[in-house]
Amino acid sequence: MTDPITGIHHITAIAADTQRSIDFYTGVLGLSLVKLTVNFDDPGTYHLYFGDADGRPGSILTFFPFAMAAPGRAGAGVVDTTTFLVPADSLEDWIVKLEGHGVVTQGPDERFGQPFIAFTDPDGLKLELAAAASGAGDAILGFAGATLWSLAPDRTLRLLTEGLGYTVTGEEPGRTRLRAAGDAAIGRHLDVITATGATRARPGAGTVHHIAFRVPDDVAQEAWREKIAALGYDVTPVIDRQYFHSIYFRERGGILFEIATDPPGFAVDETPHRLGTALMLPARYERDRERIEKRLPPVRLPGGGTVGG
Ligand code: ZN
């Protein structure tokens, strides 16, 4: 029996300006920069990880900032919207806060009985805040879920339910809601847009690159790798991403899926209270640190330090 997938591990999107993303996600949304590193496949660019203060799986939104990245276009074949969970009764405070930063908000509206507001980040990435059933304060708790806009919704739904262990919990016009197995408090929901005939999304700034699902360890991941290969998907070998281990495959609706392990986590190379305060490099790039850092655009970190340039 395969250990169940218990929800979203992280979501990765494309941005155009590193500083602007840091300022928005930490300064406006109040997330922590839990890791500043480079794109392991392209060390001339950053890879930013935002999340809760502990960098827990289920709270992690990451960005590849490509300077001069052309704006993408929403459409089918990608994760359309990323939804964060906030404490009950905090949406009105969030509207005031976001509007105070010049962010245009829509709502509150309701979906599957849950109130939410919608807005975009400075690159146009579609975001929502959905109210939890309880909780105090305003701080983002992690992901509520994500909305997948598939080129083949029937096939995406079949993979999620028959393959990845999700359960359908609701239907609204044009949208099906699913819930992951287990009892994780964050990141359990996925919505699949069921309309067909949509234009394909154009990758670029303000669009999601991939969504990662979480598994507890390497053994579970290997079991999932075998299962997904047996379902006929072209799945990569395990890749060491330093903070988790990853496999990738593209589902039939065009969306790039990843399955990532919870361990080792973001404290593997920084002490927990120092997360995101320095540029971290995997061992293979450490000897080139000076050259790599000089090529990266200079950025101010939330803690006051500077990196790059
Ligand atoms: Zn990823």
Ligand 1 centroid to residue 239 C-alpha, Å: 10
Is residue 115 in a domain? yes
Q: Is the dihedral of CA 81, 155, 254, 60 positive or negative?
A: positive
- Secondary structure (3-state) at 203: coil
For residue 1, the model assigns a pLDDT of 57
Ligand 1 centroid to residue 108 C-alpha, Å: 30
* Ion ligand 1, residue ranges at CB < 5 A: 12, 212, 258
Ligand 1 centroid to residue 125 C-alpha, Å: 17
Domain at 68, CATH number: 3.10.180.10
Is residue 288 in a domain? yes
Ligand 1 centroid to residue 252 C-alpha, Å: 18
Ligand 1 centroid to residue 47 C-alpha, Å: 10
Q: Is 198 exposed, middle or buried (0-12, 13-18, 19+ CB in 10 A)?
A: middle
Ligand 1 centroid to residue 244 C-alpha, Å: 9
Ligand 1 centroid to residue 113 C-alpha, Å: 30
For residue 253, the model assigns a pLDDT of 96
Q: Report the amino acid identity of residue 260.
A: A
Mean pLDDT of the chain: 96
- pTM of the full predicted structure? 0.97
- Secondary structure (3-state) at 132: coil
Q: Write out the two tokens for 104.
A: 């245009």
Ligand 1 centroid to residue 115 C-alpha, Å: 28
Q: Which residue in 135, 138, 156 sits closest to 147, CA to CA?
A: 156
**What is the β-pairing status of strands 114-120 and 126-131?**
antiparallel
Is residue 1 in a domain? no
Pick out the chain residues at pLDDT < 50.
Answer: none
| Domain with 153 in it | 8-307
Taking only the tens place, the pLDDT of each residue in 19-57 is 999 999 999 999 999 999 999 989 999 999 999 999 999
Is residue 3 in a domain? no
Ligand 1 centroid to residue 109 C-alpha, Å: 30
CA–CA dist 171, 105 (Å, integer): 25
Ligand 1 centroid to residue 25 C-alpha, Å: 18
Is residue 41 in a domain? yes
CA–CA dist 221, 210 (Å, integer): 17
Ligand 1 centroid to residue 245 C-alpha, Å: 9
Is residue 179 in a domain? yes
Alpha helices in 147-267 (DSSP H): 153-158, 218-230
Ligand 1 centroid to residue 92 C-alpha, Å: 32
Number of domains making up the chain: 1
Ligand 1 centroid to residue 12 C-alpha, Å: 6
- Secondary structure (3-state) at 165: coil
Ligand 1 centroid to residue 283 C-alpha, Å: 19
Q: Find out whether 148 and 79 touch, Cβ atoms under 8 Å.
A: yes
CA–CA dist 295, 309 (Å, integer): 6
CA–CA dist 181, 276 (Å, integer): 31
CA–CA dist 228, 244 (Å, integer): 19
Q: Is 213 exposed, middle or buried (0-12, 13-18, 19+ CB in 10 A)?
A: buried
Is residue 2 in a domain? no
Taking only the tens place, the pLDDT of each residue in 244-270 is 999 999 999 999 999 999 999 999 999
Residue 204, number of CB atoms within 10 A of its CB: 16
